[in-house]
Each structure stands twice: as C-alpha cells, then as structure tokens.
C-alpha cells in the first residue's frame, strides 16, 4: 500500500497521530506537499463524508476523522507555504456565522498561501461584525466566505450588507464558496465570484485582482 493510501486510511480509521506520522514520512520521502493533501488527506475526508451521508459513521467518528485531517494538514501546511511565489495580494477568509466547518476553508487558505497570497483567517462562526472589524484592520484586497450549511449561507448576504453599510464594499472583492453555495447564489447576494473548490478559489482571486 502506498504512503498516500495509508494517509487516506488513517483518516478513515480516525488515527490523528498516525496521520501526522505518515504525512511526515511522505514529506521526508519527497512526495510533493500538494500531492499529500490531494491524494491522501482530502481523499480520506471525502470518503468519511460519503459514509456520514449514508449513516455508516456518526458525528463522534466524523470529528475524530476531521481532527486527523486537520493535524495532518498542519504538518504539511508549512511546506505548502514554502512553495509560494511573490506575495500577490491580501485575502481575509472565514467561515460565516453559525458555521464551524473549516476544513475546506483551511484548504483554500493553504492553497492561496502556496500561491503567494498573504492570508488572514477570520476563523469559524465569524459574524459580519468580525469581517468588518478585520477588513478595517487588515485592508484586504479580497474577502472570502465559506459556508457548509444551507442555514448559514444567509450570513454571507448579511456580511456583504455589513461591509456595504460600513462603506468598505467598494474597496475589495468578495468571493464565496462551500458545498451548498453556487454561482447563482453568489450573484444574488452581490458577491464578485464563487469558487467550487480550492483551486477555483485561487484562480478566482487571481482573475479578480488582475481585473
Ligand atoms: Co458537518 N455537515 N455538520 N460536520 N459535515 C456536512 C456539511 C453535511 C453535508 C453532512 C450531511 O448531512 N451529509 C451537513 C450539511 C447539510 C446542509 O446544510 N446542506 C452537515 C451537518 C448537518 C452538520 C451538523 C448540523 C450536524 C449536527 O450537529 N447535527 C453540524 C453543524 C455544525 C456547525 O457548523 N454549526 C456539523 C458538524 C460537523 C463536524 C464538527 C462534526 C465536522 C466539521 C469539522 C471541521 O470542519 N473542523 C463536520 C464534517 C467534517 C462534515 C462533512 C462530513 C465533511 C465536510 C468537509 O470538511 N469536507 C460534511 C459532509 C460532506 O461534505 N460530504 C458535513 C471536505 C472539504 C475539503 O470540503 O468543506 O466542501 P468542503 O470545501 C471545499 C469546497 O466546498 C470549497 O473548497 C474546498 C476544498 O476544495 N470551498 C470553498 C469551501 N469553502 C470555500 C470558500 C471559497 C471557495 C471555495 O471562497 C471563499
């Protein structure tokens, strides 16, 4: 079994320490950081997602798998950053109010960092006021919002409104993403773009900042 397969399985088997150990071995063997993320870590959490949906695993198991993913990702993340180019812009990203899912957001952050963007993390369950305060402080070129729940998507709209009310909207681009979000929804709430996955989010930021 390849190291990437083992990493994937360690996430499915909910073994955070093993995930970290295997991730470090993969890095030591010279496997590209992005390959470890895509072929090992994401493959594992995606399978857990399907099992969760099919009621084959339940929340405590999913949380342990998510921890394995996060710990493995933390081990590989500095190397992803090392592969970056020139800083190309400043991005603020958070999971919106009510939403504590952050795996996808953290992948988007890592890929942006790996592509040379300075990224600030608004964390999870980030209310519109936090985005407003952080925009005032950081002055990002782009604000990104992530939501994994249909119930929390509404806070994307509230955040866009709060940025408008604070007079900050015109100074930045807004992008949104997350499984229940769509390009139509992005348009509807007045965002500048929607990224289906982390790769698209990076392309979107690139194109928005070039325009
Ligand atoms: Co939750 N959960 N969860 N969960 N969870 C989902 C999302 C769900 C689809 C599972 C299901 O029912 N099949 C479902 C949502 C249903 C809905 O509303 N549509 C759900 C639910 C219901 C819940 C709870 C309500 C469960 C409960 O308590 N009864 C609860 C809510 C908590 C809350 O937020 N208030 C809950 C809790 C949890 C855990 C804490 C156990 C854990 C989260 C741990 C963590 O994130 N730290 C968890 C997990 C892990 C999942 C699943 C299994 C996996 C999500 C994930 O990390 N995917 C998920 C089922 C699934 O997706 N199949 C599920 C991997 C990740 C790489 O993908 O996040 O989609 P994703 O990110 C992608 C793209 O979407 C995109 O790029 C990423 C990388 O390619 N993207 C962006 C994301 N953000 C972006 C931003 C961008 C651009 C692209 O620009 C800014």
Q: Which of 40, 69, 142, 148 to mutate to test the pocket of ligand 1 (most atoms within 8 A of CB)?
A: 148
DSSP designation for 170: G
Domains in the chain (CATH in brackets) are 3-83 (1.10.1240.10), 90-210 (3.40.50.280)
Cα torsion 112, 180, 9, 123: sign:
positive
| Span 46-93, pLDDT tens digits | 898 789 889 999 888 988 898 898 899 889 988 876 765 345 899 999
- How far is the centre of ligand 1, averaged over its atoms, from the C-alpha of 86 (Å)? 32
Which residue has a Cα nearest atom 83 of ligand 1? 178
Distance 147 CA to ligand 1 centre (A): 8
Smallest CA separation from ligand 1 atom 51, residue: 49
In the prediction, which pLDDT does 197 show? Answer: 86
Q: What is the pLDDT along the chain (211 residues), one digit of tens a residue?
A: 999 999 999 999 999 999 999 999 999 999 998 899 889 998 898 898 789 889 999 888 988 898 898 899 889 988 876 765 345 899 999 999 999 999 889 888 867 876 668 889 999 999 999 999 999 999 999 999 999 999 999 999 999 999 999 999 999 999 999 999 999 999 999 999 999 988 799 899 999 999 7
Q: What angle, 0 to 180 degrees and rounded to 10, lies between the N-to-C axes of helices 59-82 and 16-28?
A: 20
User: What is the distance in A from the centroid of ligand 1 to the CA of 188?
Assistant: 22
Give Cβ neighbours of residue 7 (< 8 Å, ≥ 6 apart): 19, 22, 23, 26, 36, 40, 41, 44, 72
């Amino acid at each position: 079994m390849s190291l990437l397969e083992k990493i994937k399985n360690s996430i499915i088997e909910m073994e955070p320490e093993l995930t970290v150990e295997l991730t470090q071995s993969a890095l030591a063997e010279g496997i590209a950081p992005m390959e470890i993320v895509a072929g090992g870590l994401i493959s594992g959490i995606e399978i857990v997602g399907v099992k969760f949906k099919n009621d084959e695993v339940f929340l405590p198991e999913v949380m342990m798998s998510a921890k394995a993913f996060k710990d493995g990702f933390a081990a590989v993340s500095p190397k992803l950053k090392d592969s970056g180019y020139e800083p190309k812009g400043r991005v603020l990203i958070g999971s919106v109010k009510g939403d504590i899912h952050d795996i996808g957001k953290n992948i988007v952050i890592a890929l942006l960092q790996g592509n040379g963007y300075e990224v600030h993390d608004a964390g999870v369950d980030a209310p519109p006021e936090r985005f407003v305060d952080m925009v005032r402080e950081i002055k990002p070129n782009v604000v990104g919002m992530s939501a994994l729940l249909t119930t929390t998507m509404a806070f994307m709209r509230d955040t866009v409104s709060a940025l408008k009310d604070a007079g900050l909207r015109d100074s930045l681009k807004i992008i949104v993403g997350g499984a229940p979000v769509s390009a139509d929804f992005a348009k509807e709430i007045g965002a500048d773009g929607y990224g289906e996955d982390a790769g698209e989010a990076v392309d979107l930021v690139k194109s928005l900042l070039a325009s």
